[in-house]
Structure 1
Amino acid sequence: MATAITPGDDFAGRYRLLRKLGSGGMADVWLAEDRELGRRVAIKILHERYANDEQFVERFRREATHAAGLSHQNIVSIYDRGSINGSYFIVMEYVEGRTLKELLVQRGTCPVPVAISYARQILAALRFAHRNGIIHRDIKPHNVIVDHEGRIKVADFGIARAGTTSQMTEAGSIIGTAQYLSPEQARGAPVDESSDLYSTGIVLYELVTGKVPFTGETAVEIAMKHLSHVPETPSSIRHEIPHDLDLVILRALAKDPADRYRSAAEMDRDLELVARGDAVGKETADAATMVLSGASEPTAMTQVTRRPPGIGGGGERYRAYDTPVGRGWSIWPWLIGLGVALALAAGGYFGYQKIQDLIHHARPVRVEQYTGIKLANAEALVTRDGFQPHVVREANADVPAGEVFAQEPVEGTKLGRGSQVTLTVSTGKPKVAVPGVVGKSLADAVAALAGVKLHANPQNVPSDQPTGTVVAQDPRAGTVVVEGSTVRINVSKGPKQVFLPSVVGLSYDQASAQLQTAGFAVRRVDAESDQPANIVVDQTPAGNTLVAQNASVTLKVSKGPATQTVPDVINLDSATAQATLETAGFKVKIVNTDTTDQTQDDHVISQTPAGNTPAKPGSKVTITVGRFVPPPTDTTTTTTTTTPTQ
């Protein structure tokens, strides 16, 4: 039984264990110090429960054997392997950084240019491994490490097997994490390089969308989806994903290996086109269309024929990933020959050394990847490699300000020393001018701001402007802000409401003074009324209600009761006088009085109110009518008696 391992332990007589880095399905990983070489390493130690399992031990040994032969900048290097106290271990390069899975969990979706860069580096590692006859079989974000300079390192070839005729499959077994399995792995069928490309397509899908295309409650359910389900188009999840990147990912996810990319190099070339903004070819578009159409796959998974490394054919698939495409005859034999000839002609060491220096500085240098890191770091790397950095600044909503997201020429190009390398650095989100929205309706203002990718924050405020009208904004129109910023807009909810008192019954002077003191405007309208003149008999708006501040109030003021001119009926006979007054709308009261003037008999002697004076319609008019009484014939005093007739 293996001895318990703790920090500080001496391991295998050469390594001092520092701390446990993590644990996988088959092994624990420890950070250790290699005392002989004075460097930090990662040691993968097989779990004790598998130490006696020959199948697992054999798989563990294969990792060391095959991965040790892979020396590439995008592959975690293997330094040593062995066994001690019943534990099998592998010593590998320690990469300071985080896995793609950790970055996805911490940051969410990856900026599209950075995701393409990461995928191309994974493909560079696979291209090298496939050329050496090794299939990874377990490409997933957990096995891809990003160091502090943005460089990708592919780790864990623990389930890889040499890609020979006799060792191409593990029929009947499903190896790898279910969400990243190829359909042929899911059914336990033979696998080849295209299986790694399918898994790379899944990883790229997850980088740009934040999720894998197929999920389920169990590994079996997920595996069945790999075999039969159509993936959702990445751009339908995240709209800024370019259409051509959709096509690349979907071709990689073809159910039939024959419909996928034929090599990592071929997939990388399409990603390079997408990175430059160019369109991919018809073959990729057709393959992607087939994936989306859900075309039925053959009853048995198609086995794509691949030549073992080094056997005939040659071609692009077997060209070293960093070897430039052939450009005809090479100038290098001529330069070297010229250098030797000039050295001999010059005679002596110094002439020869001078020519060697010239040849050294003229020799093309490989352009590395400078994207995904801060500008200062990228410039330092460009200068270190012998090139002149040229910086172009460009807004990019997906990439943090100060980070390089594009370069020209691309990685792998060879240039002469002193050549210019253009670095495109993000200035962050694009900036836009705030449009003027004061005076617009709320709906129009929101639409105008959304049109330049700004957000509206409406606030309702009292105003004398119509309800729903924007009366103010902050920032002001014309201010330059970052795309996605929020603009506060004040929207009128109508004037402020105040209490309006009732002034009915007050004199106009009192009412007007009270209202004007409260801030209201006063308008007078005179009207006939039973009320005394100058008394307020009505108001609009009604009193004791809430009205707009500074509203105008109309006061209806009495100009006194209505009047009618009283007819003059003096000297008319009583009947005519009564009829005249009643016709004019008055009531008549007749008072008789004795008179010795016979001409006044039954005639109106006087009236109250007097004729031709105003009086209220329907009011009473009293008329005095004479009643003739002959004068006495004797000297007896005559007494006049007045008898009312009604």
Structure 2
Amino acid sequence: MDRVFSDRYRLEEQLDETDGAVLFSALDQSFPRKVFITVYSKCDPSFVKLFQSRAQSLAGLSHHHIMSIYDMECIGDTCYLISEYRDCLTLREAIDSDLRFSLEEAMLMSMNIAQAIAHAHQMNVVHGHLTPDSIWLQGRDIKVAFLSPGCFDIWGDAREQDDLLALGKVLKDLFAATPPLYKLEVRSNINEVIDRLLGIREPAYRNAADVAYDLKMIISKDANPLYGGNSGHEEEDTRPYGVTSGEIQALLGTQKKNLIQQSFSKLRSIVMSYFALSMGMLLLGAAASLFMANPDPGTEKLKATIENVPVSVAKAESESSSTITITPTEPIGNLGKGVKATPDLVGLQKASAEQRLLSLGIRYIYYLEPSEYPTGTVFKQLQEPGSQIHPGERVVFYVSSGVQ
């Protein structure tokens, strides 16, 4: 095989090989930069057509956690795929070398993988061969390779549901490399996600976007104090496998900052509203006090006029057909001042009883009811003669309407 092709790419080191495909590191001499080149040999015409279509679809994917496709070329029965270079381990290599991850690291990685698959599905691209070998790790950052040795034979038959099942298997392997007895409640939530991906638990996931969202919520509730999932008092040296709460907080810092800003804005609006209301009430109270202390002459005149307006007589029919009359047509200013003694009204004519009460400045209510007394005669009163009538109280008496 030529070590240089297209007068641009120089093959350097063989990294992996499967039936019909070899992965090389190479140098792109045009920029220069290092790249991955996957070489597919002895390709029949149908594969070449499928390869070109697949490469064009993958070149349209633009996502931080998906390895970029730079170029592709087919020369005779050999096809070349040029992609982003990563000087790191695959997830399979990391697990096989007994590298262990903190639970927080694994949660972030799993969310990123799910986000990458969700983005591809939104672009109508199915991975078809998602395994730990197609996931590259560089620190805590991951990249999903969508074209890798060994996947070309199943491109045409792959479905989105196959990717979800494969994602469940990847996450199961990933979380098997985390501390088993750390944050059991969080691990229980993760296990539920994995079981739903594998079809062990209902409801099964139907799309990768839901998986990514659920994983994001688990991370948020665990790492962000605004969600109440973490007390925030855990010491850094008690957290196994190196990742710190500060690093997790930094990853979620933007969301936390936005929530705090929104809460502060709402609180400020409430405080300003209460302040404006309080100031308005204070100003209104001050104005009222000033008005009472310095009444307008016109207001005093109006008040005097109101006090001398006669009170209307109100009548209502009771169940016994009695007529109730409340308060005489007497100026308010002359009634109800001071404590009065109730006069004896029984035997008086209604007009005489009213006149006597008015002369004493006493308000009253009388009822017209049938009795053996002559019509218009007071035959009963509620208060005993001589009892005290205080301001605001009324004497109640009953006037005969005759025998019925």
What is the identity, as a one-letter code, of the residue corresponding to 2:174? L
- Aligned pair partner of 2:213 in 264, 269, 274: 269
Which residue of 143, 149, 168 corresponds with 1:201?
168
Given the superposition, is the C-alpha separation of residues 392 and 406 from structure 1 closer, same or farther in structure 2, using an over 3 Å criterion? farther
Partners of 1:55 and 1:139 lie apart in 2 by: 23
- Within 5 Å, which residues of 2 pair with 1:204-223? 204-210=171-177
SS in 2 for 1:406: helix
Which structure's relative contact order is higher, taking Cα pairs within 8 Å and 6+ residues apart? 2
- Seen in structure 2, the aligned counterparts of structure 1 residues 402 and 239 have a Cα distance that, compared at 3 Å, is closer
Residue 192 (structure 2) pairs with residue 247 (structure 1): yes
Residue number among 145, 153, 170 corresponding to 1:155 in the alignment: 145
Question: Do the aligned residues in 1 keep the contact of 2:10 with 2:26 (CA within 8 Å)?
Answer: yes
Which residue number corresponds to residue 34 of structure 2?
40
Write the distance in 2 (CA, Å) between the matches of 1:265 and 1:46.
Answer: 32
Which blocks of at least 5 consecutive residues in structure 1 are unaligned?
162-172, 177-187, 211-233, 279-389, 420-646
Q: CA deviation at 1:204?
A: 0.7
Report the aligned-residue RMSD. Answer: 3.7
Whether contact under 8 Å (1:399, 1:405) holds in the other structure is no
Shift of the 414–400 alpha-carbon distance from structure 1 to 2, 3 Å rule, reads closer
Distance 1:13 1:175, change over 3 A: same
Relative to 1, partners in 2 of residues 1:200 and 1:21: Cα closer, same or farther, differing over 3 Å? same
Point out the more displaced range, 150-159 or 119-128: 150-159
In structure 2, what is the Cα distance between the partners aligned to 1:404 and 1:76? 28
3-state SS in 2 of match to 1:123: helix
How far off is 1:73 after superposition?
Answer: 0.9
Shift of 1:114: 1.1
- Secondary structure, aligned partner of 1:262: coil
Letter in 2 for 1:33: L
> Equivalent residue for 1:83?
74
8 Å contact from structure 2 (residues 102, 242) kept in 1: no
> Structure 2 vs 1, CA of residues 191 and 45 (structure 1 numbering), >3 Å: closer, same or farther?
closer
CA contact (8 A) 2:220 2:252 kept: no
Distance 1:30 1:391, change over 3 A: farther
From 22, 28, 45, the counterpart of 2:22:
28
- Secondary structure class of the residue paired with 2:97: helix
What is the aligned partner in structure 2 of residue 136 from structure 1? 127
Cα 1:41–1:260, aligned 2, differ >3 Å: closer, same or farther? Answer: same
Cα pair 2:63 2:119 within 8 Å, conserved: yes
Q: Matched residues in 1 for 2:75 and 2:17: separation?
A: 19
Could you give the per-residue CA deviations for residues 528-550 of structure 1, whole angstroms, max 9, x where no partner exists?
xxxxxxxxxxxxxxxxxxxxxxx
User: 1:330-364: CA deviations, max 9, x gaps?
Assistant: xxxxxxxxxxxxxxxxxxxxxxxxxxxxxxxxxxx
Distance in 2 between residues matched to 1:405 and 1:249, nearest whole Å: 25
- Which residues of 2 match residues 248-397 of structure 1 at below 5 A? 248-254=193-199, 259-277=203-221, 394-397=236-239
Counterpart AA for 1:244: N
Instruction: Work out which of the two has the higher radius of gyration on C-alpha atoms and give 1 or 2.
Output: 1
**C-alpha displacement of 1:411:** 7.8
Contact 2:111 2:215 in 1 (8 A): yes
Give, in whole Å, the separation in 2 of the partners of 1:411 and 1:130.
Answer: 28
1:175 and 1:67 map into 2 onto residues whose CA distance is 16
Mapped contact 2:168–2:198 kept (Cα < 8 A): yes
* CA separation of 1:391 and 1:144: change in aligned 2, threshold 3 A: farther
Q: How many residues align?
A: 248
Distance 2:63 2:114 in 1: 12
Whether contact under 8 Å (1:82, 1:89) holds in the other structure is: yes
| Distance of aligned partners of 1:394 and 1:124 in 2 relative to their CA distance in 1, 3 Å threshold | same
Alpha-carbon shift at residue 58 of structure 1 (Å): 3.6
Match of 2:93 among 86, 102, 117: 102
Change in Cα spacing, 1:409 to 1:397, as seen in structure 2 (3 Å) is closer
Q: Distance in 1 between matches of 2:243 and 2:122?
A: 38
Distance 1:124 1:78 in 2: 18
Structure 2 distance, partners of 1:69, 1:140, is: 22
Contact 1:73 1:153 in 2 (8 A): yes
Query: 1:480-524 CA distances to partner (integer Å, 9 max, x unpaired)?
Result: xxxxxxxxxxxxxxxxxxxxxxxxxxxxxxxxxxxxxxxxxxxxx
Correspondence for 2:361: none
Matched to 1:200, the amino acid is: L
| SS across alignment from 2:86 | coil
Deviation at 1:150, TM superposition (A): 1.9
Asked if the contact 2:17/2:23 (under 8 Å) is kept, the reply is yes
Work out the CA distance in 2 between the residues paired with 1:137 and 1:407: 34
User: Does the CA contact (< 8 Å) of 1:138 and 1:159 recur in 2?
Assistant: no
Structure 2, unmatched stretches of 5+, are 223-231, 262-404
| Separation in structure 1 between the aligned mates of residue 233 and residue 54 of structure 2, nearest angstrom | 43
Secondary structure at the aligned position of 1:135 is classed as coil
Considering fraction of residues, name the structure with more helix: 2
> In the alignment, residue 265 of structure 1 is paired with which amino acid?
A
Q: Counterpart of 1:126 in 2: which secondary structure? A: helix
How far off its partner does 1:60 sit?
Answer: 2.8
Cα distance in 2 for residues equivalent to 1:58 and 1:397: 51
Once the two structures are superposed, residues 424-480 of structure 1 have per-residue CA deviations (whole angstroms, 9 ceiling, x without a partner) of xxxxxxxxxxxxxxxxxxxxxxxxxxxxxxxxxxxxxxxxxxxxxxxxxxxxxxxxx
Aligned to 1:18: 12
TM-score (norm 2): 0.53
> Which residue of structure 2 lines up, in the alignment, with residue 398 of structure 1?
240
Letter in 2 for 1:399: Y
Shift of 1:93: 0.9
The whole-number CA distance in structure 2 between the counterparts of 1:402 and 1:255 is 33
Residue 392 of structure 1: how far off its partner (Å): 8.5
SS in 2 for 1:261: coil
Q: Does 1:70 align with 2:61?
A: yes
How far residue 100 of structure 1 moved from its aligned partner, in angstroms, is 0.3
Structure-1 residue corresponding to 2:117: 126
Query: The residue matched to 2:24 in structure 1 has which SS?
Result: strand
Relative to structure 1, the CA distance from residue 121 to residue 397 in structure 2 (aligned partners, 3 Å threshold; closer, same or farther) is same
In structure 2, do the counterparts of structure 1 residues 19 and 412 end up closer, same or farther at CA, with 3 Å as the change threshold?
farther
The one-character-per-residue Cα deviations of 1:280-321 (angstroms, maximum 9, x if unpaired) are: xxxxxxxxxxxxxxxxxxxxxxxxxxxxxxxxxxxxxxxxxx
Deviations 1:578-623 (A, max 9, x none): xxxxxxxxxxxxxxxxxxxxxxxxxxxxxxxxxxxxxxxxxxxxxx
- The percentage of counterpart residues that share the same residue type is 27
Per mean C-alpha deviation after superposition, the further-off stretch among 150-159 and 115-124 is 150-159
